[in-house]
Structures are given as structure tokens and as C-alpha cells.
């Protein structure tokens, strides 16, 4: 398994334009929330407890993030749990409203992603490595933390792999 630095550094190779990163600050959370909204409607009984598929996705994602970094994994756990709780309210809407909202958010999120990659002049990272789909949310979290002055050593390690950011 690649290290946190390797995963984020590889992802960062496709995300050096500040405009691209900015679109990802909005696009990736919208996509994640939309996916959780879609899967929150699927109920799965396990050992007498009814879970929804979004909770299972969050659990699996958090396990992976924790394997990469305990501190970032815990932050991602908090954010994903909050998003999955918010997704339940969308999942409880009528079938039509649930689907329109979920798919609408998903499409808007991806449009933002592709606009960002137009600015970048590069294809999305997941095209070359499907793991980019799960690293994207962690990358956005890391970039947000870098902006407010946290994880500066990690930021330097990523820049050593991917090079400096561009305007």
C-alpha cells in the first residue's frame, strides 16, 4: 500500500492549478454527499441492526483513511459521519425528490471537477488510477488544512513529489 505522502503526491500531480483546487473544494464534497444520499436509501440488516449502505461506505472509507493517517482519518471520519447523517434526510424524501436532488448534486459536482481540469489542462487523476476517487476527498481536506497553516511538513512532502502550485 502506498503511503499518505505517495497517495497525495500522486493525486497532486493532476492538481497544481489553484483554480482547479478551488473547484475541487466545492465539487468533491458535492459528489461525496450525493453518493451518500443515493446509498443512504439502501437499508441492510446486519445482525439485527439495520444500517444503510452509506454508513458502510463511510466505515470502509474511514478504515482506509486511518491506515494512511490517524489524525487525517479521524477528521475525515467526523466529516463523513456528518455528511452521512445529513444524507438520511434526503434519502427519506419521496423517490422522485431523493433522486432529483442526489443526481443533481452529483452532476453539479462533476461539472465543477471538469471545469477545474479544463483550467489545469490535465485529465482527472482517477483516469489513470481509480484510487484517485477515494483520495480526492482526503486531498481536499489536506489542502484546506494547508491553507490555514496545518500539516506544513506534509505540504512540503507533497510539493516535493508534485512540484509547486500554479496560479
pLDDT single digits (tens) 111-156: 999 999 999 999 999 989 899 999 999 999 999 999 999 999 999 9
Q: State how far Cα 161 lies from the chain centre.
A: 21
What pLDDT is recorded for position 1?
87
pLDDT at 4 over 90: yes
CA distance 122 to 164: 16
Q: What pLDDT was estimated at residue 5?
A: 98
pLDDT digits (tens, 9 = 90+) for 43-84: 999 999 999 999 999 999 999 999 999 999 999 999 999 999
**Non-local CB neighbours of 135 within 8 Å, separated by 6+ positions:** 7, 8, 10, 11, 125
Amino acid at each position: 500500500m502506498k503511503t499518505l505522502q505517495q497517495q497525495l503526491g500522486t493525486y497532486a500531480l493532476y492538481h497544481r492549478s489553484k483554480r482547479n483546487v478551488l473547484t475541487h473544494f466545492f465539487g468533491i464534497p458535492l459528489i461525496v454527499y450525493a453518493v451518500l444520499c443515493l446509498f443512504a436509501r439502501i437499508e441492510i440488516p446486519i445482525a439485527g441492526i439495520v444500517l444503510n449502505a452509506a454508513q458502510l461506505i463511510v466505515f470502509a472509507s474511514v478504515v482506509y483513511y486511518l491506515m494512511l493517517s490517524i489524525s487525517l482519518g479521524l477528521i475525515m471520519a467526523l466529516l463523513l459521519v456528518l455528511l452521512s447523517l445529513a444524507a438520511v434526510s434526503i434519502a427519506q424524501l419521496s423517490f422522485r425528490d431523493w433522486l432529483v436532488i442526489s443526481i443533481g448534486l452529483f452532476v453539479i459536482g462533476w461539472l465543477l471537477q471538469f471545469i477545474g481540469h479544463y483550467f489545469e489542462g490535465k485529465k482527472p487523476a482517477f483516469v489513470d488510477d481509480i484510487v484517485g476517487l477515494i483520495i480526492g476527498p482526503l486531498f481536499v481536506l489536506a489542502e484546506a488544512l494547508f491553507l490555514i497553516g496545518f500539516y506544513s511538513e506534509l505540504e512540503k512532502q507533497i510539493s516535493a513529489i508534485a512540484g509547486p502550485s500554479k496560479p
